[in-house]
Amino acid sequence: MLDWTPGDLSEQALWEKWLTSESVRAFESGRIDSQAFADATIAEFGLSIDANTFLKAFETWIDGLFDGVEDLLVDLRPDYRLATMSNTNATHWPKLTEEMGLGRLIDTHFPSHQTGLLKPDREAFENVIRELQVEPNRILFFDDNEINVSAARTCDLQAQIAKGPDDIRERILTVHPE
């Protein structure tokens, strides 16, 4: 996507703009369809492509689980209640749950396009706490984005940055040594 911008954004700036983008938030909360999302995103980011090109590329942005994720989830499942809390959309969700197997590996899901709630908004975390019916400090929350981790901590979740399955294993052992 960076190649399609006017060249005025760094990768980090593009990521930050994406996280706060009104078109992205509307799509990932289920308020607009993919065509409206593409049109709005192209306008908002000043992209040099048409909507069809954008949507075809966007479909490929989710291309597989990190190596080791499936093994991690299989190992954790007997001892932990696993859930996802994902800012996602109707385009990517079937790939994540069906093609990549998260639907069979994890029982409880909180996809933003279905809940209408997005990280890092407080309401998204409160919804998870309410739906799981557990004390917030009993929830281990992992995310690769500091903004989301900080927001989770304000809701009393045990939140940690994790960049992959090895980070998650290490942090679980730190919090809950065997």
DSSP code of residue 97:
I
Residue 50: inside a domain: yes
Give me the domain span that covers residue 80.
Answer: 69-175
- Same domain assignment for residues 113 and 85: yes
Q: How many domains does the chain have?
A: 2
Residue 178 has pLDDT above 60, yes or no: no
pLDDT in tens, 116-147: 999 999 999 999 999 999 999 999 999 998 99
Residue 176 has pLDDT above 70, yes or no: no
- Same domain assignment for residues 106 and 166: yes
- Same domain assignment for residues 129 and 45: no
For 47, the 3-state DSSP assignment is coil
Instruction: Mention every residue, 6+ apart, whose C-beta is less than 8 A from residue 146.
Output: 161
pLDDT in tens, 48-106: 999 999 999 999 999 889 999 999 999 999 999 999 999 999 999 999 999 999 999 99
How much is the pTM?
A: 0.89
Please state the φ and ψ torsions of residue 81, each to the nearest 5 degrees. -85, 115
Alpha carbon distance 158, 35 (integer Å) = 38
Alpha carbon distance 111, 121 (integer Å) = 14
For 109, the 3-state DSSP assignment is strand
Residue 64: inside a domain: no
Alpha carbon distance 85, 143 (integer Å) = 9
Please state the φ and ψ torsions of residue 111, each to the nearest 5 degrees. -75, 130
- Same domain assignment for residues 83 and 142: yes
- Same domain assignment for residues 105 and 157: yes
